[in-house]
């Protein structure tokens, strides 16, 4: 299934049915009087978040959604049928924006969340409603109210516990493939990841969701590269995993590039809990690892972990640190506080 995280839709609620002008005509009834019924209501347009979807690709092939109009009223005081509602099924985590692409109308973060996007028009009154003691034969009725027509934008922000950050070729996709059943594209050249990927990672029997987005480059906040387009997918993450390539030649500069870009992006990303990890340590000896870790920590990265997604070295420690931040409890945890910790008999992790 192709990934699509932004779509424009045109919606229109149903118009109300017109009221009816009618008079009772029966044999032997001299003064029948008015009996025109009311028009039916027009259908509404709703959006509802459903489980099992992680893309807006359905809205590429259908962009127009029109609810049915209400039926006109009829004689014998019969009310017209209400128009059927129409429901847009969207993934959880979808923001609904106005036509300006800035005004947020609704944010559907959980399955079952729903919002009314356009209310159907009321049906018009039939002439039966206008009968009074001084006007016993009214010959007019109300027209139904028109529906609401508008253009909206749907923007999907994936809901994951952990978001991966890093320059292209920092090892994000390799990490996701090694720790989950996700199968992102992996190659020895930059920008192999063109769309976000989700994977369910298991650590000591506990599961949490990790989102991988295309790599960032210098100037991403100004529109360069691909990653800034997809940073919204890690906005909802509880923690960020910042991977730094240990073979790049300038890991401190790489780290600073990412930190600068997420700071420029805003949306609270810079304030999220973040774990910095030096990757590809299987290609480095002990002296090189220690030197690069010391440089990163001196440059402001805080505590730096090391790992290799290929050999599996250091991966369990990284996963347990992430699990502790996101608050996922493992079956072997002694405390039931929601903060997980490693147990003494935890075995090695294998890729």
CA distance 192 to 5: 19
Q: Is 197 annotated as a binding residue?
A: no
Query: Does the annotation place 224 within a ligand binding site?
Result: no
Q: Is 327 within any annotated ligand binding site?
A: no
Ligand-binding site membership of 253 (annotated): no
280 has binding-site annotation: yes
Is 172 assigned a ligand-binding role in the annotation?
A: yes
| Residue 308 counted as an annotated binding residue | yes
Number of H helices, E strands in the chain: 6, 14
3-state DSSP percent of the chain in helix, strand and coil, to 5: 20, 25, 55
167 is in an annotated binding site: yes
Tell whether 257 is in a known binding site.
Answer: no
Q: 180 among the known binding-site residues? A: no
According to the annotation, is 194 in a ligand binding site?
yes
The DSSP symbol for 277 reads: E
Q: Is 192 part of any known ligand binding site?
A: yes
Contact 254, 245 (CB under 8 A): yes
Tell whether 203 is in a known binding site.
no
- Ligand-binding annotation for 170, yes or no, is yes
Q: Per the annotation, does 299 bind a ligand?
A: no
CA–CA separation, 262 and 216 (whole Å): 9
Q: Do the annotations mark residue 117 as ligand-binding?
A: no
The dihedrals phi and psi of 103, each to the nearest 5 degrees, come to: -75, 120
Query: Is 94 annotated for ligand binding?
Result: no
H helical segments located in the chain? 58-61, 172-179, 227-230, 251-265, 286-296, 315-326
279 is in an annotated binding site: yes
Is 281 marked as a binding-site residue? yes
Q: Was 341 annotated as part of a binding site?
A: no
Which residues participate in the annotated binding site for GTP? 166-173, 191-195, 212-215, 279-282, 308-310
Which residues participate in the annotated binding site for Mg(2+)? 173, 193
Which residues participate in the annotated binding site? 166-173, 191-195, 212-215, 279-282, 308-310
């Amino acid at each position: 299934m192709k990934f699509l995280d932004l779509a424009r839709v045109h919606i229109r609620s149903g118009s109300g049915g017109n009221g009816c002008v009618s008079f009772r005509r029966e044999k032997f009834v001299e003064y029948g009087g008015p009996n025109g019924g009311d028009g039916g209501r027009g259908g509404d347009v709703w959006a509802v978040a459903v489980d099992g979807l992680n893309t807006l690709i359905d809205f590429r092939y259908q962009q127009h959604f029109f609810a049915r109009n209400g039926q006109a009223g009829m004689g014998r005081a019969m009310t017209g049928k209400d128009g059927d509602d129409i429901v847009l099924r969207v993934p959880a985590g979808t923001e609904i924006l106005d036509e300006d692409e800035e005004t947020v109308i609704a944010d559907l973060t959980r399955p079952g969340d729903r919002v009314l996007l356009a209310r159907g028009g009321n049906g018009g009154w039939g002439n039966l409603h206008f009968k009074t003691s001084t006007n016993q034969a009214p010959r007019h009725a109300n027209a139904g109210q028109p529906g609401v027509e508008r253009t909206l934008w749907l923007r999907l922000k994936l809901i994951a516990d952990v978001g991966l950050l890093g320059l292209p070729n920092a090892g994000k996709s390799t990490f996701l493939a090694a720790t989950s059943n996700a199968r992102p594209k992996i190659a020895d050249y930059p920008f192999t990841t063109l769309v976000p990927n989700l994977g369910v990672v298991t650590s000591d029997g506990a599961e949490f969701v990790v989102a991988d987005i295309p790599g960032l480059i210098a100037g991403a906040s100004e529109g360069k590269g691909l990653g800034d387009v997809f940073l919204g997918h890690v906005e909802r993450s509880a923690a960020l995993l910042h991977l730094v390539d240990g073979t790049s030649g300038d890991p401190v500069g790489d780290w600073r590039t990412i930190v600068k870009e997420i700071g420029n992006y805003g949306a609270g990303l810079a304030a999220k809990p973040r774990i910095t990890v030096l990757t590809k340590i299987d290609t480095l000896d002990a002296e090189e690892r220690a030197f690069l870790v010391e440089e990163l920590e001196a440059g402001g990265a805080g505590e730096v972990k090391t790992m290799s997604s290929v050999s599996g070295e250091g991966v369990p420690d990284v996963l347990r640190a992430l699990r502790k931040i996101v608050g996922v409890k493992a079956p072997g945890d002694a405390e039931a506080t929601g903060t997980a910790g490693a147990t003494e008999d935890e075995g090695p992790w294998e890729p």
